[in-house]
């Protein structure tokens, strides 16, 4: 069964600290893996997208990694800011990337 | 900056009624999507649309649902005979290709009473 599992479910960190969010997937055939940031009540905003051949992608303070062999990805946030408080969602695409499977997200709280 | 726009932002409808949710994707995008997010749950894929036809759909997207691109700019999701469990946030998204960034709209919150 195609599944995307994220951990931790929630995370509290102090402003300025780094954190790493995890994503494991069993989606096959694999097309791409995306990380999104979703503020409460808003639409998801794309952070990174990686295809099979890519193992790292950066977007400012966000760095995503992908290990297609172990079917794991991580999202590393550097020097967190209060505005980073949101849900971070891992999304895996198959069959050409059209049909996407969403993880449940990690809820990140950044405190001053 | 180009964006995906959705209307209305909130729709309340009576059970059994039909609703049409509207989306204007980014103008040069070719791939369009609808997603659903029930309150407190994860986002779920409904359907993708390319070249004026459905390219993929999920198990959720049954005969109650249909999509249409009636003109060169709008992309609509029709839900027939709405049920209480259809209450959710519905997101539209678009992308240039299947492997490039997808841009989401701000969603339509559908409440079925």
Q: Tell me which residue of B7, B43, B9 sits closest to B25, measured CA to CA.
A: B7
pLDDT mean over A77-102: 89
Mean pLDDT of chain A: 93
- In this prediction, the residues of chain B whose per-residue pLDDT falls under 50 are none
Q: Which of B109, B108, B32, B104 is nearest to B67 (CA)?
A: B32
More confident residue, A96 or B107: B107
The residues, any chain, with a CB within 8 Å of residue B17's CB and separated by 6 or more, are B81, B82
Angle at A95 between CA A92 and CA A100, to 5 degrees: 30
The arithmetic mean of pLDDT across residues A79-103, rounded, is: 88
Using the Cα atoms of residue A84, residue A104, residue A11 and residue A40 in order, give the sign of their dihedral. positive
Between A7 and B72, whose confidence is greater?
A: A7
pLDDT beyond 70 at A95: no
A28-50 mean pLDDT = 92
Inter-chain CB proximity A43 and B98 less than 8 Å: no
A7-14 mean pLDDT = 97
pLDDT value at residue B97: 84
Strand partners, B93: B33, B104
Peptide bond preceding A107 in cis form (omega within 30 of 0): no
Q: Is the pLDDT of residue A12 over 60?
A: yes
**Chain B residues touching residue A6 (CB < 8 angstroms):** none
Whether B43 contacts B58, CB under 8 Å? no
In percent, the amount of chain A with pLDDT more than 90 equals: 80
pLDDT of residue B100: 83
DSSP assignment string, chain A: ---EEEE-SEEEEETT--EEEEEEE--SSEEEEEEEEE-TTS--EEEEEEETT--EEEETTEEEEEETTTTEEEEEE-S--GGG-EEEEEEEEEGGGTEEEE---EEEEEE-
Token pair in block for residue A86: 């949101």
Decide if B43 and A31 are in contact by the 8 Å CB cutoff: no
**Comparing C-alpha atoms, which of B89, B65, B95 is closest to residue A43?**
B89
A98 band by pLDDT with thresholds 50, 70 and 90: low
**What pLDDT score does A31 carry?**
85
Interface test with B, best of A25, A41, A43 (most B CBs within 10 A): A43
Q: Quote the pLDDT of residue A2.
A: 83
Q: What is the mean pLDDT of residues A2-28?
A: 96
Phi, psi of B102 (to 5 degrees): -100, 135
Closest alpha carbon within chain B to A43: B106
- Running DSSP on this structure, what letter comes out for residue B63? T
pLDDT score at A97:
56
Compare B102 and A11 and report the one with higher pLDDT: A11
Cα A10 from Cα A81, distance rounded (Å): 16
Residue in this structure with the two tokens 């209450």, named with its chain if needed: B87
The pair of three-digit structure tokens given for residue A41, joined into one six-digit string: 């009540």
Interval A34-42 mean pLDDT: 93
Q: Which residues of A touch B105 (CB under 8 A)?
A: 43
Number of Cβ within a 10 Å radius of residue A23: 26
pLDDT of residue B101: 85
């Amino acid at each position: 069964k195609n599944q995307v599992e994220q951990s931790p479910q929630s995370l509290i960190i102090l402003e300025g600290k780094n954190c790493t969010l995890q994503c494991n997937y069993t989606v096959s055939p694999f097309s791409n893996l995306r990380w999104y940031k979703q503020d409460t009540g808003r639409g998801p905003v794309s952070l990174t997208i990686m295809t099979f051949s890519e193992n790292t992608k950066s977007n400012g303070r966000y760095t995503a990694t992908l290990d297609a062999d172990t079917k794991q990805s991580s999202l590393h946030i550097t020097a967190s800011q209060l505005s980073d408080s949101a849900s971070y969602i891992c999304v895996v695409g198959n069959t050409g990337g059209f049909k996407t499977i969403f993880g449940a997200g990690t809820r990140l709280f950044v405190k001053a | 900056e180009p964006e995906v726009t959705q209307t209305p932002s909130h729709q309340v409808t009576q059970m059994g009624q039909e609703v049409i949710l509207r989306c204007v994707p980014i103008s040069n995008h070719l791939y369009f999507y609808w997603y659903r997010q029930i309150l407190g749950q994860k986002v779920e894929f409904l359907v993708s649309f390319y070249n004026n036809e459905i390219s993929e759909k999920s198990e959720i997207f049954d005969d109650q649902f249909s999509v249409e691109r009636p003109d060169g700019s709008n992309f609509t999701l029709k839900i027939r005979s709405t049920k209480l469990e259809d209450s959710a946030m519905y997101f539209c998204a678009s992308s240039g290709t299947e492997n490039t960034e997808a841009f989401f709209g701000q969603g339509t919150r559908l409440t079925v009473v």
